[in-house]
Amino acid sequence: MDTKETSGIRRHEVNPRTLAIDRWMARLINVGGVGVIAAVLGMLVFLVAQVVPLFRGAELEELPSAQLPAGVAALVVDEYGELPCAVMPDGELRFHRLDGSLAKSWRPDLPGRSVTAVRAYPRDGIVLMGLDDGSVAEVKVGHRSRFEAAGARVVEADPALASVLPIVPGAALESVHHVRGPAGRVVLVRHASPAGARLVAVKVAERRALGGKVRSTPSAPAAVGAGLAGVVGEVLMANGERILAVLADGQAVVFADADGSYPEVQRFRPFPDSPGARPTSLGLVLGDVTVVLGSDQGHEEAWSLYPQRQADGSEVRAFGRIHVNEALGGRADGFAPSPVNKCYVASSRGSLEIRHMTTGTVRWSGPPVESFLAGFLSKNHDQMGVLESSGRLRRWKVDDHHPDGGWRAFFAPIWYEGGTGPEHAWQSSSGNDEFEPKLSLIPLIYGTLKGTLYAMVFALPVALLAAVYVSQFLRPELKRVIKPTMEIMASLPSVVLGFLAGLWLAPLVDGHLVALLLAVLALPTTALVFGTAWSRLPLAARRRIPPGWEFAALVPLLAVSVGAAWLAAPSVEAALFSVRDPGTGQMVADFREWWRLATGMSYDARNSVVVGFVMGFAVIPVIFTIAEDALSNVPPALTSGSLALGASRWQTVWRVVVPTAMAGIFSAVMIGFGRAVGETMIVVMATGNTPVMELNPFSGMRTLSANIAVELPEAPVGHTHYRALFLGACCLFLMTFVLNTAAEVLRQRLRERYKVV
């Protein structure tokens, strides 16, 4: 302190500068301290904020509606929803601006023929027209957008007639469908005949000639389900391999392509749980293998093609019900799929909804439209529109960034398209365009717990036994060296452990698995047997090994037992784990083969045993240090009292020390558990990182942490995959945070208990 008296400051009065500095430092430290702590805790807030959008439904905001002419037959909308094209029943294409004015009108040049049926394929910008002479005309709508110099967007349309194909000469077509697959185009038409509605399919081989013109060669028309009465709706699916027709009595009939003919292969009744229900809406979701059916009573079900085991053991792709969705608000009366994801617009008398097929969730639900004629979801999944029969086009701005998110997507079993049942699966990327990411976190959580389990199976006994021995029996002068050694082990970089596990230990263990298993059995047995024998010896002999040095005496003994296990391994393997080699027919002693045959489970060289063993290196020191502290801190009065009453040293430890320190030991175990849960590099490097869900000790796993390390650098910012990885991080955070907090609370209890003692 300033001792020199400056003017104005009297004796015993503090220099104002000192006080000012003190005040300022107090403020600075307060602000800084609170700031740092807030920043650290803000981390959790940030992580949660990144994850929250995944669980939001869609938010819609209605835009001004546009007036199109009444009596529209189909609707095709451009990417931006700015120039809707109304297809009139007579084949006229009317392009309207959003203010209702007509931008363009176009009519295909079909002299002498008139249009009797129309179907739009908004995803491809194609309108199919069925003609009264039995031909099918294909019209390209030709929406185009360009950007003018000022940055303004102009959407134009240039429709063109692409082809006219005769299908059923002379018949007026009632309905037309087509699909383009890798094998060519398939056209399906329905026309009236004296016997009722008939379905006819034609395969069209398309070859692009040199000039760029497409030459089409249609096959002979094939009658689909000849004599089938009362077809009310039909869809062409899976690249034309299957045709599904819904009959007036509510049955669905499936026809399969068999070299040009379409025999009936399956017949099922949708809504089997409510026999009176009749399908009133029918549509395909993106991918063309799943059909969503809505009933007159508001039921909704998704039926999909997937491999099903038949009675004769073969597998056939057939329809099965994969989802029973939440009921619609009333009679289903409209369906419009999204061109980019598995969402669709489902309209009913009671509601208008956006639903997601895979997760079976309702993304948004609103009041019903007057009468649903056609609907669309835009290619950017940012606009929805519904055309009412009055010609009013109602439009909504869609704010739905993660349509495939939601609790069910991440945690519930989901029946994916092509799967044979509901499953938890993590498969985030693939080369395929129509591939749907599977983002269930359950296999990752399972893998995390599996790795932790195997690590703990190995680490717990070693760490706890060592802690008991070091704290209670070891000579104090040795303890001063051994404890820091074990502590240093805790700071070994996990990349070093992972590297050793993957490149050095895994091949080693692979060849000597039986030896390893035998050693695991031999070590404790040797110690117990020798200890028992030793304690029976006369005192004079026993005094040769002073208390606290047992471990040193045990080292050669254990080395011998491991050596014996090593030598005995080949004969044990031959005796117990021999299998017949299918190639040569000889008996071969090989544990790996035996495991595969005996358990039917897989065997990988980089497996959970290796991971568990190496993760033990990371976990043992943590558990050891904390448990040893807890055991050492048991008040000496307790142990002295016990010994004085005549208990042996083991009785004292087992009956007095361990129970007293139980809470501390438990907290050590939990902290070790937390460390194993979050371990990353060891798992990345020492397993195959396959997200399997089996407890098999000889297969790998994919943990939450390894998954993040591997996939996050590649995940596009803000996408569902990116946020799903953040969700994984949140799970990890929560798991470890809860474990550690529980451990901390236990430890504080323990401290109070000591106080009482």
Partner 1 sequence: MKDPVPNVPDAKPPAGEAFVWFTSVGLVLGLTMVAALVGVIVLNGAKAFWPAAIERAELADGRVLLGPLVQERLKPGTPPAAGLLERQYQIGLREQNGQSFAWIDASAVRSSSLPPGALALERMENGAAFLLPAELRLAGGSRLAASDPAFLSRLESLIASVAERRERLAEVEKVRIGRINTELQRVKVGLRKAADLGTPDAELKAEAARLDADYQLLAAEARSLRDGFPADVLAGTDGAGRPLEFPVASLVRAWEPNRLGLGGKLALAASRAWEFVSAEPREANTEGGVLPALFGTFAMTVLMSALVTPFGVVAAIYLREYARQGAVLRMVRISVNNLAGVPSIVFGVFGLGFFVYVLGGNLDRLLFADELRYNNNTPVLGTGGLLWASLTLALMTLPVVIVATEEALSAVPRGMREASLACGASKWQTIREILLPASAPGILTGVILAMARGAGEVAPLMIVGVVKLAPTLPIDGEFPFLHMDRKFMHLGFHIYDLGFQSPDSDAARPMVFASTLLLLLLVLFLNLGAIAIRNRLRERYKTSAF
Residues 577 to 636 in contact with partner 1, rule: CB under 8 A: 588-590, 616-617, 620, 624
Selected from 2, 5, 19, 719, the binder of partner 1 by CB under 8 A is 19
Looking at residue 657, the DSSP 8-state letter turns out to be I
Residue 722, token pair as written in the block: 């990116």
Of the candidate spans 18-26, 177-185, 384-392, 434-442, the one that interacts with partner 1 by CB under 8 A turns out to be 18-26
CB atoms within 10 A of CB 577: 19
Residue 502 binds partner 1 (CB under 8 A): yes
Spell out, one character per residue from 34 to 53, where the chain touches partner 1: x when CB under 8 A holds, - when not. x-xx-xxx-x--xx--x---
Burial class (CB in 10 A: 0-12, 13-18, 19+), 481: exposed
Closer residue to partner 1 in complex, CB, 436/628: 628
Which are the contacts of 261, defined by CB distance < 8 A and separation ≥ 6? 222
Residue 637 binds partner 1 (CB under 8 A): no
CA 512 from centre of chain: 36
What is the rounded distance in angstroms from the CA atom of residue 750 to the CA atom of residue 660? 8
Single out the residue of 64, 87, 67 nearest to residue 391, CA to CA: 67
CB atoms within 10 A of CB 550: 16
Which are the contacts of 429, defined by CB distance < 8 A and separation ≥ 6? 435, 437, 711, 714, 721
State the amino acid at position 281 in one-letter form. Answer: S
Residue 535 binds partner 1 (CB under 8 A): yes
Looking at residue 472, the DSSP 8-state letter turns out to be I
Which string of b and e fits 531-544 if b means at least 16 CB within 10 Å?
eeeeeeeeeeeeee
Q: How far is the CB of 80 from partner 1 (least distance, A)?
A: 24
In terms of phi and psi (left: phi > 0; alpha: psi -120 to 50; beta: otherwise), the region of 540 is alpha
Q: How far is the CB of 664 from partner 1 (least distance, A)?
A: 15
Residue 149 binds partner 1 (CB under 8 A): no
Residue 511 binds partner 1 (CB under 8 A): yes
Single out the residue of 203, 280, 191, 186 nearest to residue 237, CA to CA: 186
Spell out, one character per residue from 661 to 680, where the chain touches partner 1: x when CB under 8 A holds, - when not. ----------x--xx-xxxx
Spell out, one character per residue from 416 to 455, where the chain touches partner 1: x when CB under 8 A holds, - when not. ----------------------------------------
Q: Which 639-658 positions form the footprint of partner 1 (CB under 8 A)?
A: 639, 643, 648-652, 654
What is the rounded distance in angstroms from the CA atom of residue 437 to the CA atom of residue 416? 10
Closer residue to partner 1 in complex, CB, 421/507: 507
Q: How far is the CB of 674 from partner 1 (least distance, A)?
A: 5
Selected from 55, 80, 268, 530, the binder of partner 1 by CB under 8 A is 530
Of the candidate spans 184-192, 325-333, 370-378, 510-518, the one that interacts with partner 1 by CB under 8 A turns out to be 510-518
Which are the contacts of 327, defined by CB distance < 8 A and separation ≥ 6? 298, 299, 300
Closer residue to partner 1 in complex, CB, 131/514: 514
Distances in Å between the alpha carbon of 528 and those of 534, 569, 658? 10, 21, 20
Residue 568 binds partner 1 (CB under 8 A): no
Selected from 527, 564, 568, 662, the binder of partner 1 by CB under 8 A is 527
Q: Please state the φ and ψ torsions of residue 542, each to the nearest 5 degrees.
A: -65, -30
Contact 692, 699 (CB under 8 A): yes
Q: How far is the CB of 438 from partner 1 (least distance, A)?
A: 21
Selected from 267, 269, 309, 543, the binder of partner 1 by CB under 8 A is 543
Selected from 207, 542, 580, 719, the binder of partner 1 by CB under 8 A is 542
Q: Is residue 95 helix, strand or coil?
A: strand
Contact 607, 698 (CB under 8 A): yes
Closer residue to partner 1 in complex, CB, 201/459: 459
Residue 551 binds partner 1 (CB under 8 A): yes
Contact 100, 112 (CB under 8 A): no
Selected from 2, 14, 154, 205, the binder of partner 1 by CB under 8 A is 14
Number of residues that bind partner 1 (CB under 8 A): 128
Of the candidate spans 89-97, 180-188, 293-301, 547-555, the one that interacts with partner 1 by CB under 8 A turns out to be 547-555
Residue 649, token pair as written in the block: 């040293």
Spell out, one character per residue from 453 to 492, where the chain touches partner 1: x when CB under 8 A holds, - when not. --------xxxxxxxxxx-xxx-------x-xxxxxx-xx
Selected from 290, 660, 699, 736, the binder of partner 1 by CB under 8 A is 736
Q: How far is the CB of 298 from partner 1 (least distance, A)?
A: 42
Residue 746 binds partner 1 (CB under 8 A): no
Q: Is residue 548 helix, strand or coil?
A: coil
Closer residue to partner 1 in complex, CB, 248/503: 503
Selected from 285, 681, 692, 724, the binder of partner 1 by CB under 8 A is 681
Selected from 574, 638, 662, 693, the binder of partner 1 by CB under 8 A is 574
Residue 494, token pair as written in the block: 């996990």
Q: Which 235-294 positions form the footprint of partner 1 (CB under 8 A)?
A: none
Of the candidate spans 162-170, 332-340, 424-432, 566-574, the one that interacts with partner 1 by CB under 8 A turns out to be 566-574
Single out the residue of 108, 119, 220, 238 nearest to residue 173, CA to CA: 119
Q: Is residue 282 helix, strand or coil?
A: strand
Question: How are strands ordered across the β-sheet holding 361-366?
Answer: 332-337, 343-348, 352-356, 361-366
Closer residue to partner 1 in complex, CB, 152/540: 540
Rg (CA), the chain: 37
Q: How far is the CB of 470 from partner 1 (least distance, A)?
A: 6
Single out the residue of 238, 126, 221, 249 nearest to residue 165, CA to CA: 221
Residue 507 binds partner 1 (CB under 8 A): yes
Contact 173, 116 (CB under 8 A): yes
Q: How far is the CB of 15 from partner 1 (least distance, A)?
A: 10
Single out the residue of 466, 509, 493, 442 nearest to residue 724, CA to CA: 442
Of the candidate spans 32-40, 198-206, 218-226, 253-261, the one that interacts with partner 1 by CB under 8 A turns out to be 32-40
What is the rounded distance in angstroms from the CA atom of residue 330 to the CA atom of residue 296? 7
Selected from 685, 724, 746, 750, the binder of partner 1 by CB under 8 A is 685
Residues in the chain: 757
Selected from 170, 227, 431, 713, the binder of partner 1 by CB under 8 A is 713
Spell out, one character per residue from 166 to 205, where the chain touches partner 1: x when CB under 8 A holds, - when not. ----------------------------------------
Q: How far is the CB of 560 from partner 1 (least distance, A)?
A: 13
Q: How far is the CB of 404 from partner 1 (least distance, A)?
A: 20
Residue 316 binds partner 1 (CB under 8 A): no
Secondary structure tally for the chain: helices H, strands E: 18, 35
Residue 56 binds partner 1 (CB under 8 A): no
Closer residue to partner 1 in complex, CB, 257/628: 628
Selected from 2, 16, 33, 158, the binder of partner 1 by CB under 8 A is 33
Contact 453, 445 (CB under 8 A): no
Residue 524 binds partner 1 (CB under 8 A): yes
Of the candidate spans 56-64, 257-265, 303-311, 732-740, the one that interacts with partner 1 by CB under 8 A turns out to be 732-740
User: CA 384, 95, 280 angle in degrees (round to 5)?
Assistant: 45
Q: How far is the CB of 114 from partner 1 (least distance, A)?
A: 54
CB atoms within 10 A of CB 505: 19
